[in-house]
């Protein structure tokens, strides 16, 4: 049996990687003999990171090597390449038993062109069904869908599915808003809640690197806010304001006797923000060798889990930094850049510990953190209980998908 996972994997977004890791782990537990495959952005990274096979989801769009062709000829070349990509996808789909679009905010056209992810999603969904294979959308998230063409492609892909679940009610509302009917679909938690539990003692080992005199350890997550302000003057000013507030937060935490662990969620984009933060903190007089300040970046989601496991509280903007903090039963404050954060925090009993990333204030953040600390024991218990419920709901979902795939595979064998 061959199971394929489709998504934006291999691009150094640790949130996307942890959703793939969760799916791989759960299918290995339930179907240990199955061959697992990722259809993804960067296959080489996925092979190394997850230990499964991988193929590119799209045909590389190579430059024309300086050749100047008339526009009609360029169009013909592009059309030929795309026909070849469809043929390749059709042949690949014939070698799988099921295609799973696994988690993450994949139902989105933000930053995507005409032939971006919505188009690729429709292509692979259609060829999967043309080859009479099962198609599942599993705890997917919907975010920005502003272009009519993208909306049509996403809705077309969803209509082909044998099963659809969304990671929150916010995603359901977005799809309903663009005219997609969801009454036969279900809401299931983000797949990261089905990751294997960290081994006992892992958090203690991670904490051992900290300055033992500190009473509280706080993770502060960074975010590539406004693309670091490179697009225009307004974005540059907004990014500088974000940088000022994040650095003020870190200095306030250190000043009151806390230790600070800086965490990233997307190594491709957030690493430069980390370097900007270091430069600003040094300009403000912080000794960057201070043992109470650690900002070594995680290079895998496993390292990110270890980092979050070493702290007592989490302040984050990256969605899966928040999810992983909750998975570890850490009280979290979310600096939210998208409604999906608010939906998640409400579901986990932490709705009052959010504020918008665009205009968060240090005063309010300090008040929220102090309240979080005062209620930490009770909140951690609520978080742990809801995390266990999420894990159980996801286990039921995996069991259903496996039964469906196995039943379909058996039926095809009988037909032959």
Give the model's pLDDT for residue 66.
44
- Taking Cα atoms as reference points, which of 340, 339, 314, 170 lies closest to residue 249? 314
- Which residue is listed with tokens 């702290």? 311
Q: Identify the pLDDT of residue 200.
A: 56
CA dist 91 and 387 (Å) reads 40
> Can you give the pLDDT at residue 232?
94
- Phi and psi, residue 56, nearest 5°: -70, 140
Tens place of pLDDT for every residue, the chain, 416 residues? 999 999 999 988 999 999 999 999 999 999 999 999 999 999 999 999 999 999 999 876 554 444 455 577 666 777 778 888 999 999 999 999 999 999 888 999 887 766 789 999 999 999 999 999 999 999 999 988 889 999 999 999 999 999 999 999 999 999 999 999 999 999 999 999 999 987 655 555 555 555 555 679 999 999 999 999 998 999 999 999 999 999 999 999 999 999 999 999 998 899 999 999 999 999 999 999 999 999 999 989 999 999 999 999 999 999 999 999 999 999 999 999 988 999 999 999 999 999 999 999 999 999 999 999 999 999 999 999 999 999 999 999 999 999 999 987 666 666 65
- 137: closest CA among 177, 96, 176, 186? 186
Q: Are 167 and 140 in contact (CB under 8 A)?
A: yes
The pLDDT value recorded for residue 412 is: 65
The structure tokens 């339930």 sit at 30
Domain 2-194+391-415 identical in fold to domain 202-374: yes
Residues 6+ apart with CB under 8 A from 34: 1, 2, 3, 27, 28
Give the CA radius of gyration of the chain: 22
- For the chain, the domains span 2-194+391-415, 202-374
CATH code for 2-194+391-415? 3.40.50.2000
Give the model's pLDDT for residue 67: 46
**Structure token pair of residue 301:** 């989601």
**180-197 core/surface letters (b: 16 or more CB in 10 A; e: else):** bebeebebbbbbbbbbee
Fold for domain 202-374?
Rossmann fold (3.40.50)
């Amino acid at each position: 049996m061959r199971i394929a996972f489709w998504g934006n994997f291999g691009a150094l977004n640790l949130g996307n990687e942890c959703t793939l890791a969760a799916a791989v782990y759960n299918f290995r537990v339930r179907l240990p003999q199955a061959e697992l495959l990722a259809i993804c952005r960067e296959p080489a990274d996925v092979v190394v990171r997850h230990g499964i096979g991988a193929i590119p989801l799209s045909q590389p769009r190579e430059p024309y090597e300086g050749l100047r062709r008339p526009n009609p000829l360029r169009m013909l070349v592009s059309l030929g390449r795309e026909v070849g990509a469809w043929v390749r996808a059709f042949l690949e789909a014939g070698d799988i038993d099921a295609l799973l679009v696994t988690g993450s905010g994949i139902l989105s056209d933000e930053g995507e062109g005409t032939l971006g992810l919505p188009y690729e999603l429709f292509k692979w969904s259609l060829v999967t069904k043309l080859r009479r294979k099962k198609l599942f959308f599993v705890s997917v998230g919907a975010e920005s869908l502003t272009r009519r063409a993208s909306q049509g492609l996403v809705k077309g892909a969803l209509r082909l599915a044998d099963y659809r679940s969304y990671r929150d009610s916010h995603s359901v509302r977005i799809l309903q808003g663009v005219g997609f009917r969801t009454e036969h679909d279900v809401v299931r938690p983000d797949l990261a809640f089905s990751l294997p539990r960290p081994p006992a003692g892992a958090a203690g080992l991670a904490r051992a690197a900290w300055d033992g005199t500190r009473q509280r350890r706080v993770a502060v997550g960074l975010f590539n806010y406004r693309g670091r302000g490179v697009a225009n003057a307004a974005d540059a000013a907004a990014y500088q304001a974000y940088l000022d507030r994040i650095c003020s937060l870190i200095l306030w935490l250190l000043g009151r006797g806390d230790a600070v662990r800086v965490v990233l969620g997307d190594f491709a984009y957030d690493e430069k923000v980390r370097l900007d933060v270091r430069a600003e903190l040094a300009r403000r007089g912080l000794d960057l060798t201070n043992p109470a300040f650690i900002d070594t970046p995680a290079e895998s989601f496993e390292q990110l889990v270890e980092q979050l496991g070493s702290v007592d509280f989490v302040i984050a903007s990256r969605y899966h930094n928040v999810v992983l903090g909750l998975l570890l039963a850490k009280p979290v404050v979310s600096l939210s850049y998208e409604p999906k954060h608010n939906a998640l925090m409400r579901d986990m009993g932490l709705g009052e510990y959010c504020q918008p990333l665009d205009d968060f204030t240090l005063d309010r953040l300090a008040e929220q953190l102090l309240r979080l600390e005062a209620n930490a024991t009770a909140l951690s218990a609520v978080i742990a209980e809801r995390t266990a419920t999420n894990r159980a709901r996801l286990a039921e979902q995996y069991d259903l998908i496996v039964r469906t795939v196995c039943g379909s595979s058996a039926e095809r064998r009988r037909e032959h």
